[in-house]
Each structure stands twice: as C-alpha cells, then as structure tokens.
Chains A and B, each alone.
Chain A
C-alpha cells in the first residue's frame, strides 16, 4: 500500500479493493462452512442463528439439534480452520523471507515434520492428562530444533541459503521423523494410538476450546510481531550485509524470527497435525498479485490462508459426503501440483545450483 501514489489508478483501486474482496470471500466461506456438511442446514436460518449468537436476539427458527450442529461442531471447526490457515500462511511467508528463498516452506524444508515428531513423542510418551500442554510445547521444540538445524546446514558462504540443501534437508528430516513416528505407533497404547492416528491425518476434526484459543492467541501475537518486523524483513531480502548496513540487528532478527515461527508451526501442527502446502501456496499467490512488500504481504497472506484452508475443509467435508476426507489430503491435492508448477517455472534458475 505504501507507494500507491505513483501507481496507475487502476492498480491503486485494485490494492484497496483486495481487502474488500477477501473480506467478502471470508464471510461467504464462513457461512458455507456453517451450512455445508453431511447434513445441510438452511442458509438463511443459519445466518440468523449466527446473528442471534452475537446479538442475543431470537431470530433463528432452527431447532435445537441444528443449533447444536452449528455451535458444537461447525463453528469451532470453522474458527480453527481460519486461524490455523492464517497461522500457516504467515509462517510460510516469513520462512521464505528468512531463508531469502521463495521455495522455503516449513512443510518442504522439514520444520513441520520436526514439529510433528515432537508432537508424536509427546502424545505417546507423556501423560495424556497433560497433553493439551505437552503436545504444543513438544511440537514447538521439535520445530525449533529443526529450523536451527536446517538453517545452519543450508547457509552458504556468500550469506544466502542453498535451495538444494534446504530441500534435501527436508527429505532427510521427513524420513527420520517418519521412522520415529512409525516406531511410536508400535509402542503406543490404545488411547495414544487413536489420538496419534487421528492427529496424524491432518484434520480439523479435533477442534476443542484449548486448541482454538491457543491458535487464536498465537495467530494474533504473530500477526502483530511480524507486522512490526515487516520493514526489517523487506530490508533483509536485499541480503544480510545490506540489512546490517541499514541499521538492522540481523543476528537478533534472525533468532527472533526462527523462534517465533517455530512457535507458530508448533501450535499449528499440535492442533491439527501436518497440513501441507498452505504455507507455500498462499504467500506465492499474494506475492504474484500484490508484490513482496511485507507490510502488505503478511496480513494479506494471513487472510488468504484463512479463507483457503476453510475452503479446503469444506471440500474435505463435501466431496465424498458423508465420508469425510482429512483436510491435509485436500490441501496436498491443490498444493502439490502448484509446487510442481513453481519448479517448472524456476527450473532454469534452480538447475544452475
């Protein structure tokens, strides 16, 4: 939004309009998420029910059973989808900036796998009564260790990061954590096994008030923190030396971003399992249409990520109804071809590495 003065009028309007468009899309998607599912609810009455809930009025004529579906099942799930989607997209945008590399995505470089490993260990080995606390913390630690490891590995002499090493590190970490998670499955007791299996599919099914509150708070904190760092992130893209000359404490910035992003990925992974590709696709789409300025990129990525994950979840519920697909499967169906498309697009540049 910053240099709008010199933009052609059409683009100027487009930049302002994007918020309106995305906001509308968000509202429509939320409403669809409330009414669609194995049992379709009447749209108008559902909308009235939402209005009732917030204004305390009595307009809706839904019966108690239908209200229960909305408020016990679909509304929590919708909230979780929105905030996890925003969180994933934010973490993706920042990871790409941190690695100065448009292909660096927490899922691809192994950070999500690392967080998943931490979460799996916590689910199986730590007492179930504390799992609401231990799972996110273990996921955060797993994500943090992986990020630090990958960053150290991929850093090249000239201060950039090597795409090749990033991707290979992702392969290695995914294989390693896959093996350990498999091992955990063998030694798990029945309760832990059930939880592990459900969680491992990457599903928004497990929405409960703890996971929702944790996601909402983390998402909002990250949004504020990243927004403060947005100008520094812009400068960081020019190169570490250049950012230092611009008065930025680069070492501190990197450490903060790594830790905060690991928190974000850890919370997301512990709440919903590994949902891939949102963090890769969304920042790319936003960059392609709106440019790279992080002051705009970050909040818009969050909004787009929220809408996209919610859409994917609606798809997961509707496509094979009444059977419900894991949402991670739907995002992978959209995301993997997109990733292949990016590879083709950048083949020339990447093949020289």
Chain B
C-alpha cells in the first residue's frame, strides 16, 4: 500500500535522508530504529508530506500524495506528533473530536466515536479535564485517540505514522498502546510506521524493522534478522547480549 522509490530529501544542500526502495503492505507494523539524528523523524515528516522530497516518489495505494484529494488523504493517513502544545483551554474529549474534521459524521456518531477511541486509548477517565492539565503521556494518548478517530472512516487500509508513541508512557501504558496498535494492524488492516527506541519492543511488536543511520536505510527485514548484536554494536556503539525467552523471542540486554 505504501511504496517509496528513490527518495532523497535535502535541506540547504545537506542530504538528510536517502531511501532507494522501501514498501509496506496493509496489516504490517514497521519499527523505525536508529540513533539520534539518524533521520527517523525526517522520514515520518517526508512520508506524511510535511516535508517535500527533492527526488523520488511516495505512493499511497498507488497514488502519489499530491494526487490525493486533501480530505480523502486525511481519512487514510494519520500522524501522531511527538509532542503537541495547546495554549487554549480545550477539554481532552474536544481534542479527540477534532479528529472528526475530515469525516462526515453526525454529532451523535462523533460523540460515540470519541468515547470508543478514548476508551481504547485509556483516556476516557479524563475526558472532561483540560488538555493542558494532562501529563505528557496522557496528552500523547489523547492525540492518539484523535488520530484513530480521524482514520475511522477509511475506505481502504489506512496508514498510521507514530513519532515515538511510547516515549512519555510508563511501562504498562507502553505495552497497552503497542498492543492496541498491533491489534489495529491485525484486525483492521492498518499499516503502521512507528519510531521506537526500545529494541525489544521492536522485536516483540514489529513485523519489520527499518534501521536508519545518518539518513541512510542501512538494513530492513524482520527484527530477528536485523537486530543482531553485531549490528547493534555497529549502529549504537553498544555490545548487547542476546537471550531468547520461553516463546523463542530474542531479547537484547
């Protein structure tokens, strides 16, 4: 559903991202990994069209992003930003309801959908609190609920881009959130590209890993293939030990 060809992103004559070929199909969860400054956020910004590529094409369901109708694209491509500031007093549920902007839903249906996605992201208990009074992790989950509402009327498999969704969450919430995303992939055919930092979370939840270093895609494949101790040593400069748990999943420590 998403195909990237010969992608090259430059800013002020500096190459920040080069991606000869990458693709994903619906139902797939991709973890984007790499050290700081490797171009992970740049990749997300380029795929969602916030930055334009100097060269190359990005196809979503066979059409380049520019050829999509604005509102139709919004129903099929959702972005969870890393952190969102709001200097106005919106309630959490009002923020989520903004996700319905591109949709054609009645007020009643919006209320219903807001509740559904806030329950799914474990945010319903503070629906009436002001967004600005929430903690970083809570805000992020409210934003996730908003993005999931935005994608809830997709006619074809939607693409969800997550910029470090687990960064501000506690351990329990991290797994709950990734489980939710995983189940959306498996049951609703979502395709997800998520920046992650924890290699073990990547190997546990992701179907594939894209490994970035200095703006280059240095490796892609299953977590088992990509995340070998010597690769980790090469990219992050840290030699981990490899274990396997009882289900045969690899664990890097």
Contacts and interface: CB of A to CB of B under 8 A. Distances in A.
Interface string B104-128: 0001101100110000000000011
A56 interface: no
A242 B93 contact: no
Contact of B86 (A6, A237, A247): A237
A182 interface: no
Contacts of B88: 97, 100, 102, 237, 287, 292
B95 A238 contact: yes
Given A245-B48, A247-B71, A247-B102, A291 B84 contact: no
B192 interface: no
Contact of B98 (A7, A100, A235): A235
A27 B132 CA distance: 37
Interface stretch (B3-11, B75-83, B237-245): B75-83
A66 interface: no
A11 to B, nearest CB: 9
Contacts of A231: 98, 101
B87 A238 contact: no
A7 B75 CA distance: 28
Contacts of B97: 2-3
B98 A246 contact: yes
A2 B113 CA distance: 13
B99 interface: yes
A334 B86 CA distance: 28
Given A249-B70, A292-B94, A6 B115 contact: yes
A38 interface: no
Contact of A237 (B90, B93, B99, B111): B90
A6 B87 contact: no
A232 interface: yes
A337 to B, nearest CB: 22
Contact of A3 (B77, B79, B87, B94): B94
Given A239-B85, A244-B50, A292 B115 contact: no
A309 B196 CA distance: 54
B76 to A, nearest CB: 10
B73 interface: yes
B209 to A, nearest CB: 25
Interface in A192-237: 231-232, 234-235, 237
A324 interface: no
Contacts of A249: 70
Nearest to B108: A5
A102 B87 contact: yes
Contact of A6 (B70, B81, B102, B128): B128
A146 B98 CA distance: 31
B107 A2 contact: yes
A149 B102 CA distance: 31
Contacts of A239: 81, 84-85
Interface string A281-314: 0000001100111000000000000000000000
B101 A232 contact: yes
A249 B102 CA distance: 12
B221 interface: no
Given A6-B128, A247-B73, A247-B74, A287 B114 contact: no
B229 interface: no
Interface string A86-123: 00000000000100111000000000000000000000
Contacts of B74: 245-247
Given A247-B72, A288-B89, 4 more contacts: A2-B110, A241-B50, A248-B101, A293-B90
11 contacts: A2-B107, A2-B110, A7-B128, A97-B88, A102-B87, A242-B81, A246-B74, A246-B102, A247-B71, A291-B90, A292-B90
10 closest A-B pairs by beta carbon, nearest first, are A247-B74, A247-B102, A247-B71, A292-B88, A246-B101, A247-B70, A245-B79, A235-B101, A5-B111, A292-B90
Interface of B: 48-50, 70-75, 77-79, 81, 84-91, 93-95, 97-99, 101-102, 107-108, 110-111, 114-115, 127-128, 150
Interface of A: 2-3, 5-7, 97, 100-102, 160, 231-232, 234-235, 237-239, 241-242, 244-249, 287-288, 291-293
